[in-house]
Amino acid sequence: MSSRLMTRFALGSLLAFLAVGITVSVVVSRELRNRQEDAARFHAQFVAESILRYELSASDVSAPLAVNGPRYRELVQFVRARILQSPVVRVKIWSRDGTIVFSDEPRLVGQRFAVDEELKEAFAGKSVGGVTNLRADENVFEQSLASKLYSTYTPLYIGTAAPRGTPAAVVEVYQDYARIQDEVNRLFGELILTLAIGLAALYVILVPIIRGAARTLSEQNMKLEQQAGRLEELLSNEKRTVGELRELNRLKDEFVAIASHEVRTPLTSIIGYAKTLRRPEFADDAAARNEFLGAIERQGDRLHRLVQNLLASSQVEDDLNRPSLTTFRFQDVVEEVLVGLGAGRPRIGFSVPPDLEPIVSDRQRVELILSNLLDNALKFSLGETACRLEAHREGDTLVFRVRDEGVGIPADKLPRIFDRFYQVDSSVTRQYGGVGLGLSLVKQLVSSLAGQIEVQSRPGRGSSFTVRLPAFRAIGDQSIGPDLAHAKTPVTSRAAP
């Protein structure tokens, strides 16, 4: 980025400098030429006004001098001595009618040529100069002097009287143009050299400044790009968060609907059975009363589990209480949980080694984990199929597994079943009760006990949840200590082969 900018600057400024250089050269060379030509004109004027004016008399210019005469020779000598010095190469004195009355070239004296504009203007009192390429008739004898001459027509006033009045004649002074050109070239060369050195110095000074600026620009550009990247990341995080919040909101609405349904159903049954019991015809029917009371108990248990789950869920979430560790027999907890499962209990076969040592853990939490897993196993399998609970010790770890041969969980849903409020089937017409809290609670509880949970499942064939808890260490051991509530539960979910 920076080098591209630099190249562009280098080329651009080089072109600009060249353009400036060329323009300045053209203007300056024109100006120098004008100056040199002005100087040539001044010199011619000087010749006419300061030299010839005092040397010539009116009679010398009134008619062509006889080139054999003494006056002509005298004048020629004077002119050669005083005037014909580089760059002046020829002098002609014109009369008003276009006759050359004097020249250092004798063959020209007495010749008459057409009166041109310059001659007229000079007789009108102006000094006129110009470059001649010597093609005119009057220039035949100058062709041997140079390839180009600068000729100046200057009015000639005779004597010392002023004002000047009408010119007595016009002096034409020829100067070698090559000399003027040489001078122009010399001055031009000097100027161009100075200009080139100046521009080069400026360029050399500017390049590092621009390089620094380009570097700063490119650094700022990079910073801006990084900031834009960061902003993009923030924005996408923000979007994700908004998405998650929306999803949570949806889940919350769904949860409220499901939870109220889950509470209402057992309550309606309980109220219904209670009202029936009050009817006189059942006053003496011990069997029916027993059945109704059993039903009320079952529905009460269901309600109790639901409320317990809700409470435990919010408690585990908000309360970072350390687990309350005690030493107890796992078998006892299993017994208690099975009793709580009421009618489902006979379907559960369990094999827990009778000699399994007491474990060190949070009894209430282990109980909740077990009851939820067993409740799910019963709920998601048909009435007659068996469910199994197995437990054993592996080193310091208690491993227990709850298996069923029920509906199973599709592989793509497995990673989500531990999410709060998630249910594979959350439709209103769903077949199974529940509010989608059980497994998320189980996950949190296992985590608070520094354990791991793993699930394997196959739709139509059943599911198996395996929990590993560090449970055979002394109380106060760090591995199941206070920090466990913050530990992350590694959850593994696998579709069963």
**Residue 275 CB, nearest approach to ligand ADP (Å):** 29
Query: What is the bridge-based pairing of β-strands 348-351 and 387-394?
Result: parallel
Query: What is the bridge-based pairing of β-strands 169-176 and 149-156?
Result: antiparallel
Strand order in the sheet with 100-103: 100-103, 88-94, 169-176, 149-156, 128-132
The answer to whether residue 37 forms part of the interface with ligand ADP (CB under 6 A) is no
The answer to whether residue 440 forms part of the interface with ligand ADP (CB under 6 A) is yes
Q: Contact with ligand ADP (CB under 6 A): which of 439, 445, 446, 491? A: 439
CA–CA distance, 22 with 48 (Å, rounded to integer): 39
Write the binding mask 403 to 432 for ligand ADP: x where contact by CB under 6 A, - elsewhere: -x-xxxx-------x----xxx--------
Candidate segments 77-85, 269-277, 358-366, 435-443, binder of ligand ADP by CB under 6 A: 435-443
Scanning residues 387 to 406, which ones bind ligand ADP (CB under 6 A)?
A: 404, 406
CA distances from 268 to 274, 291, 375 (A): 10, 17, 21
**Residue 243 CB, nearest approach to ligand ADP (Å):** 21
Interacting residues of 186 by C-beta distance below 8 A, sequence separation 6+: none
Residue among 171 and 409 whose Cβ is closer to ligand ADP:
409
Residue among 361 and 381 whose Cβ is closer to ligand ADP:
381
CA–CA distance, 136 with 140 (Å, rounded to integer): 7
**E-assigned strands of 315-431?**
325-328, 348-351, 359-362, 387-394, 397-404
The answer to whether residue 299 forms part of the interface with ligand ADP (CB under 6 A) is no
The answer to whether residue 333 forms part of the interface with ligand ADP (CB under 6 A) is no
For residue 276, the SS3 value is helix
Residue among 100 and 389 whose Cβ is closer to ligand ADP:
389
Residue among 91 and 374 whose Cβ is closer to ligand ADP:
374
CA–CA distance, 383 with 348 (Å, rounded to integer): 11
CA–CA distance, 36 with 183 (Å, rounded to integer): 8
The answer to whether residue 266 forms part of the interface with ligand ADP (CB under 6 A) is no
Tokens 């006990």, located at residue: 449
Candidate segments 132-140, 202-210, 223-231, 375-383, binder of ligand ADP by CB under 6 A: 375-383
**Residue 386 CB, nearest approach to ligand ADP (Å):** 13
CA–CA distance, 360 with 469 (Å, rounded to integer): 10
The answer to whether residue 434 forms part of the interface with ligand ADP (CB under 6 A) is yes
Strand order in the sheet with 348-351: 348-351, 387-394, 397-404, 462-470, 452-458, 491-495
Residue among 110 and 433 whose Cβ is closer to ligand ADP:
433
CA–CA distance, 350 with 390 (Å, rounded to integer): 6
Query: What is the bridge-based pairing of β-strands 359-362 and 325-328?
Result: antiparallel
Residue among 179 and 401 whose Cβ is closer to ligand ADP:
401
Residue among 485 and 496 whose Cβ is closer to ligand ADP:
496
Find the length of the chain.
497
Residue among 127 and 376 whose Cβ is closer to ligand ADP:
376
**Residue 404 CB, nearest approach to ligand ADP (Å):** 5
Candidate segments 64-72, 206-214, 222-230, 437-445, binder of ligand ADP by CB under 6 A: 437-445
The answer to whether residue 377 forms part of the interface with ligand ADP (CB under 6 A) is yes
CA–CA distance, 158 with 150 (Å, rounded to integer): 24
Q: Contact with ligand ADP (CB under 6 A): which of 463, 468, 470, 472? A: 463
Residue among 157 and 255 whose Cβ is closer to ligand ADP:
255
Q: Contact with ligand ADP (CB under 6 A): which of 295, 437, 469, 491? A: 437
Q: What are phi and psi of 175, to 5 degrees?
A: -120, 145
Longest Cα–Cα distance in the chain? 183
The answer to whether residue 251 forms part of the interface with ligand ADP (CB under 6 A) is no
Residue among 43 and 420 whose Cβ is closer to ligand ADP:
420
Which contiguous run of DSSP H or E holds residue 312?
A: helix 286-318
Half-sphere exposure of 22 (CA within 13 A, CB side): 5
The answer to whether residue 435 forms part of the interface with ligand ADP (CB under 6 A) is yes
The answer to whether residue 316 forms part of the interface with ligand ADP (CB under 6 A) is no
By the 10 Å C-beta count (0-12 exposed, 13-18 middle, 19+ buried), 341 is classed as buried
Residue among 366 and 439 whose Cβ is closer to ligand ADP:
439
Question: Could you list the residues that contact ligand ADP (CB under 6 A)?
Answer: 372, 376-377, 380, 404, 406-409, 417, 422-424, 434-440, 463
